[in-house]
Structure 1
Amino acid sequence: MAKPKITETIFRDAHQSLIATRMKTDEMLPIAERLDEVGFHSLEVWGGATFDSCLRYLNEDPWERLRKLRKVFKKTKLQMLLRGQNLLGYKNYPDDVVEEFVKKSIGNGIDIIRIFDALNDIRNLRTSIEATKKSGGHAQAAISYTISPVHDIEYYVKLSKEMESMGADSICIKDMSGILLPYTAYELVSKLKKEIKIPIQLHSHFTSGVANQTYMKGIEAGVDIVDTALSPFSMGTSQPSTESMIAALKDSPYDTGLDLGLVAEIADYFKPIREKYIKEGILNPKVLAVDSKTLINQVPGGMLSNLVSQLEKQGSLDKFDEVLNEIPKVREDLGFPPLVTPMSQMVGTQAVFNIILGERYKMVPSEVRNYVKGLYGKPAVPISSEIKKKIIGDEEVYSGRPADLLEPQLEKIKSEIKEYIEQDEDVLTYASFPQVAVSFFQHRQAEKYKIDSSLLNVEEKTYPV
């Protein structure tokens, strides 16, 4: 019986989930060498929101963070999260940008790229998977787990087989809302182990309070790897605790073999960092609470906080429960998309508009229109002609791979920002987040040449509460 391995998320999803990805590179480096000694399967350090947060809030170069971490980690594989054709942003990018981004990610130190698509449309994974393998990386294809009349065990088994055929080196069951229940996990993992030959990893969040049990049943069914977070940044909307998982499996057939004492000592390093973010108001105690309603409405923790913010700006926080009830209806109208970036933002914003304006689909964001037009990919369930008519009228729906509509961009970008380029990676930074990138490049120039940044019309970056 193979012992389950552990991917530690402290440098990516753990702090993304609890402190809006605000942990700085200087807070990571002092403990990196000790983390390298533990024997984790991998350490998730990059991707997701880390890239945007480095530039927007920390005035850090995300590529430089990766290089610094790679220099310290001699034994442990480094992992990142990639949104398929969306890369680290919220729209589709042309193939040339995707291929170059993947190549540079691996070139700067990433070993494993977890690749997902918000609609589980595997056409949006192909370029990333092929580029990862071409550059010598491990391509992990991720299922965006959700529940609906069509998202059943057989759906996920079929999807996983397609991912394996496409060249995926492993499969991740990515349960972003914490809604995968223990016995469902046992059944899903058991069937996948019979149907596919590549390793299976399980990723969940503690939002609804069941992730520990889900991991245990997944491990009993033969899952190869689970994602956990060191205790100071675990639980709540983050992952189950690493120390607790190691202890729970000790002296069983599933003993991880990891040194609990060493891991507990490393966890102590992060306690004052956690306290600092609590004092600064960045770690909100609300994200540490169990929210069992997630099992009913499937709304991830991050999406809930976005909804509160949107309603507060409109002076309509009293309509919060109405919006929560509207979300499943909008999701059904739109073909049951999984509530993960960028679909969670689209469904949430549409639900807010429907309730605040008192009429469904009176106002529709451009992203939702583009989604209905097929420009994000294919929904699991076809959208009804009635809903299409309301949202896009008689406009045509595109049925091809969305990225096939996009022209190559790299050369154009290079010429647009030639005065700022100091490394090849700057082109990709600008492609991902143009406005934020220019602001960062100007800061970088100001620091390099000791110029007052106000001369470059750049606002100082601050930590938002």
Structure 2
Amino acid sequence: MLHYPCYESSLCEISDYSAQGASSESDSEGDVPGQYCAGELCICETIVLSSILRSPEPPQGFRHILKTQGPEAFAKTVRNHKGLLLMDTTFRDAHQSLLATRVRSHDLLRISPYVAHNFSQLYSLENWGGATFDVALRFLHECPWERLEDMRKQIPNIPFQMLLRGANAVGYTNYPDNVVFKFCELSVQVGMDIFRVFDALNYLPNLLLGMEAAGKAGGVVEGAISYTGDVSDPTRKKYDLKYYTNLADELVKAGTHVLCIKDMAGLLKPAAAKLLITALRDKHPDIPIHIHTHDTAGAGVASMLACAEAGADVVDVAVDSMSGMTSQPCMGAVVACLQGSKLDTGLNLSNVSEYSAYWEQTRTLYAPFECTTTMKSGNADVYMNEIPGGQYTNLQFQAYSLGLEDFFEDVKKAYREANVLLGDIIKVTPSSKVVGDLAQFMVQNKLSADDVLSKAEELSFPKSVVEFLQGSIGEPYQGFPEPFRSKVLKDMPRVSGRPGASLPLLDFDKLKTELKGKHPYSTDRDVMSAALYPHVTDEYLTFRENFGPVDKLDTRIFLTGPKVGEEFEVTIERGKTLGIKTLAMAEDLTANGEREVFFEMNGQLRSVFIKDKEAVKELHIHPKADKNVKGQVGAPMPGSVIDIRVAVGDKVEKGAALVVLSAMKMEMVVQAPVAGVIKTLDIKPNMKLEGDDLLMTIE
């Protein structure tokens, strides 16, 4: 009899699947191996419990230095450390890059005790920030603050690290300054330690604001320079070695505790790594240098070893089964390559292997979100298209939602062309979103780069592209692209200088009152979330009020739902476990489109009426816009109507904003193709549309 790792049962509570009359192996209906084990300790529990039994309290790590002596002493300790230090990205960037950020707190917390007991030598554990904040609320229906707090309880000894988008905090736009400062303050209170602060354009005013906010909150400031181009290629002149060393000088002058090179697309080749790190180490011998990369091309391990040899103190890795391709380089490979050398990491390869075994099984639960559906190996075309690793999977899912699943190779080629159109900019959230939105717009509308440039004055560009050209996320190095910018913007307003400087401070008390009025049980953390993501937070709170804490469900149950006749348990809190068994589902719908579902909870028969959204969906065939009729305006992409800015009878000028559509975080403002009067309006708010569906007619 085979025994699979029991990743979907609760820790210390073993389910004997064979006692339920089924094989312990996966059945023919596609159950995930590892859902149950046959009456003995599973690998997951054995790994965690053996660590805890050896020592109830995890050993001290670098966080002890930070908490007892402060950020400066922490940085000095890191710099004086013998051997290469590692940051583990498995809890954040690895699954953002491989699994569209969909990994739930449930699975992160299950392995957390093992990490605390066996990886205390880590420089840090990256587990928050970036896209995790948005995705936790939007798709996983869980509170990102609770995730951070719960992990801190499980891992008290390893410094936590997050990605802060400078003046964008963890959002996609600039916020009032007090929002960024308040966010950092609350993050430290809940358990964050190190803030990797970057700006999407390496725009220094935005960077400095984020660094100031993180430092004032008491965090370790890790000022980051986003890397693009190739400093080892003399023909790539825009982002040369001097560009990076000058930026590093500014960050050190501003008081960064650690200097970071953020290679978000995996473009840092070994030869370039040696040049760049040697130059930085020579100029700044006393400051720790931390290197981040992605392994998209397959050269990540070689590049990180070159960085270490050149004087870097810390490099980013992901545990083996969550590494490679668009993720970070392989932890086990780096550990093994340096064993016995002066740069030995001090990590135990057996522990790495056990840690990897957990994620190898857990990852199977997230198969629908895998980037490997199309990407089966490293791909050196990243050196041409320069797509960031963290964007790759999201760009792929966007393409599918826009009906471009068969044209993803075209999207990648268009990404390169879009970058040139925009002036060869630094590409990382949110500037990478600008390039990605423009690339998908080009493919969807069958536009070449020449077409975009020649027709720029008459096209309805994605909202992110227009706002970038207006200056809403800052100023790119060497300025905006002309004449493209002028053609797109025409007489639209432009932002000069740091965008957040002109924004009024947010009234948190007013926001709290408004949120409490709609969601009485909301907390100060929810208020902070609402300041960053008002609509997404509102939807999350509404969902939680209707359905409760679904983050307590096992992952397979959360993603696919239980089968009829299946029993499962949900631990709401320590000592409070619900036993649930689904029994049957009524075939007939009620008059208002609901279906009765019968189940047992802790042995008590119950039923609940659930609205069957699919069964009651009205067949609605929306008219298409006739491209031969000059005044008919069609939807340029599939999406939802989030804003209608005109009404029947309104007079509009050519280029006026008519409607805002949204699909997979990509927003597009549809502009009037002609001047005239709105004759008909064929849409309503929140209506879902397909491409070319009729929006309105202008007479």
**If the length of structure 2 is used for normalisation, what is the TM-score?**
0.62
Aligned residues of 2:296 and 2:389 also touching (Cα < 8 A) = yes
Answer whether contact 2:193 2:220 (CA < 8 A) is retained.
yes
Corresponding residue of 1:150 = 238
Alignment of 1:407-446 (within 5 A): 407-409=504-506, 410-419=508-517, 420=519, 422-446=522-546
Aligned to 1:91: 173
Partner of 2:201: 119
After superposition, the C-alpha distances for 1:40-94 in whole angstroms (9 at most, x for unaligned) are 1111111111112211222211101111111121211011111111111111111
Q: Quote how far apart the aligned CAs of 1:454 are.
A: 7.5
How far residue 257 of structure 1 moved from its aligned partner, in angstroms, is: 1.3
Q: Would the alpha carbon gap of residues 212 and 354 (structure 1) be closer, same or farther in structure 2, given more than 3 Å must change?
A: same
User: In the TM superposition, what are the counterparts of 1:211-360 in structure 2 within 5 Å?
Assistant: 211-278=300-367, 280=368, 282=370, 284-301=372-389, 303-309=391-397, 320-355=408-443, 356=445, 358=447, 359-360=451-452
Alpha-carbon displacement from aligned partner over 1:198-227 (angstroms, at most 9, x marks no partner): 211111111011111100110000100011
Q: CA deviation at 1:411?
A: 3.4
For residue 303 of structure 1, report the CA deviation from its aligned partner. 4.1
Q: Distance in 2 between matches of 1:195 and 1:368?
A: 37
In 2: Cα distance, 1:319 partner to 1:20 partner: 19
Are 1:4 and 2:101 matched, yes or no?
no
Return closer, same or farther for 1:191/1:389 CA change in 2, 3 Å cut-off: same
Distance 1:126 1:300, change over 3 A: closer
Higher helix share: 1
Task: Choose the corresponding residue for 1:160, options 215, 234, 248.
Answer: 248
Three-state SS of the structure 2 residue aligned to 1:101 is: helix
Indicate the larger mover: 369-378 or 416-425. 416-425
Q: Find the aligned partners of 2:488 and 2:536 in 1 and give their Cα distance.
A: 31
Stretch moving more, 370-379 or 112-121: 370-379
Determine the C-alpha separation between the residues in 1 that align with 2:134 and 2:398: 20
Q: Is the 8 A contact 1:334 1:379 kept in 2?
A: no
Q: Distance in 2 between matches of 1:314 and 1:256?
A: 45
More displaced stretch, 261-270 vs 35-44: 261-270
Which amino acid is 2:113 matched to? E
> Alpha-carbon deviations, 1:75-121, whole Å to 9, x = none?
11011111111111111111111000000011100010111111000
| Structure with higher RCO (Cα < 8 A, 6+ apart) | 1
Residue 398 of structure 1 and its aligned partner are, at CA, apart by: 2.9
Secondary structure of the corresponding residue to residue 267 of structure 1 = helix
Aligned 8 A contact 2:297 2:382 in 1: yes
1:62 aligns with 2:144: yes
Aligned to 2:629: none
**Displacement, 1:300?**
2.8
Distance 1:239 1:281, change over 3 A: closer
CA contact (8 A) 2:100 2:369 kept: no
Q: Structure 2 residue aligned with 1:25, among 88, 105, 108?
A: 105
Given residue 431 of structure 2, which amino acid in structure 1 is its aligned partner? M
**Deviations for 1:141-194, whole angstroms, at most 9, x for unmatched residues?**
111111153111111111111111112111111111111100101110001011
Task: Give the distance between the partners of 1:399 and 1:271, measured in 2 at CA.
Answer: 49
More strand by share: 2
**Secondary structure class of the residue paired with 2:516:** coil
Q: Secondary structure at 2:161's aligned position in 1?
A: strand
Distance 1:306 1:53, change over 3 A: closer
Offset, 1:26: 2.0
Identity of aligned residues (%): 36
Offset of 1:310 from its aligned partner?
A: 5.0
Deviation at 1:7, TM superposition (A): 0.5
Q: CA 1:377–1:312 in structure 2 vs 1: closer, same or farther (change >3 Å)?
A: same
Q: Structure 2 vs 1, CA of residues 453 and 47 (structure 1 numbering), >3 Å: closer, same or farther?
A: farther
Instruction: Give 1:417 shift.
Output: 0.8
State the secondary structure of the residue aligned to 1:348: helix
Figure out how many residues of one structure are paired with residues of the other and give that number: 455
User: Residue 35 of structure 1 aligns to which amino acid in structure 2?
Assistant: V
Choose the corresponding residue for 2:298, options 186, 193, 209. 209
Deviation at 1:357, TM superposition (A): 5.0
Match for 2:222 among 131, 140, 144? 140
Residues 448 and 176 (structure 1), Cα distance of their counterparts in 2 relative to 1, 3 Å cut:
closer
Aligned amino acid, residue 441 of structure 1: L
1:105 aligns with 2:202: no
Shift of the 2–453 alpha-carbon distance from structure 1 to 2, 3 Å rule, reads: farther
Q: Aligned in 2, Cα 1:342/1:212: closer, same or farther, shift over 3 Å?
A: same
After superposition, give the CA deviation of every residue in 1:291-344 in whole Å (9 maximum; x if it has no partner).
111112212345455555555555556665554444334323323212211112
Q: Hey, what's the Cα distance between the residues in 1 that align with 2:492 and 2:211?
A: 32
State how far apart, in whole Å, the 1-side matches of 2:546 and 2:400 are.
Answer: 37
- Amino acid aligned to 1:235: G
Equivalent residue for 1:187, pick from 250, 258, 275: 275
SS of match in other structure, 2:353: helix
CA deviation map 1:244-275 (0-9, x unaligned): 11111001111111122222222222221022
* Alpha-carbon offset, residue 400 of structure 1: 1.4
Give the structure 2 partner of residue 14 of structure 1: 94
Q: Is the 8 A contact 1:178 1:204 kept in 2?
A: yes
Once the 2 structures are TM-superposed, how far is the Cα of residue 405 of structure 1 from its aligned partner? Answer: 1.7
Question: Closer, same or farther in 2 for the Cα pair 1:166/1:290, shift >3 Å?
Answer: same
Shift in CA distance, 135/159, structure 1 to aligned 2, threshold 3 Å: same
Structure 2: unaligned runs, 5 residues or longer:
1-80, 230-235, 551-607, 614-663, 665-699
Within the candidate set 442, 453, 469, 1:372 is matched to 469
Contact 1:83 1:117 in 2 (8 A): yes
Residue 492 of structure 2 is aligned to residue 404 of structure 1 = no
SS at match of 1:23: coil
User: Do the aligned residues in 2 keep the contact of 1:246 with 1:256 (CA within 8 Å)?
Assistant: yes
Alignment partners' CA distance in 2, 1:211 and 1:277: 24
Shift of 1:441: 1.1
What amino acid maps onto 2:214 in structure 1?
T
Contact 1:114/1:140 (<8 A) preserved = yes
2:527 alignment partner AA: V
Which residue is equivalent to 1:461? none
1-structure distance, mates of 2:487, 2:192: 44
The one-letter code matched in structure 2 to 1:406 is L
Measured in 2, the distance between the counterparts of 1:277 and 1:313 equals 18
Counterpart amino acid of 2:469? V
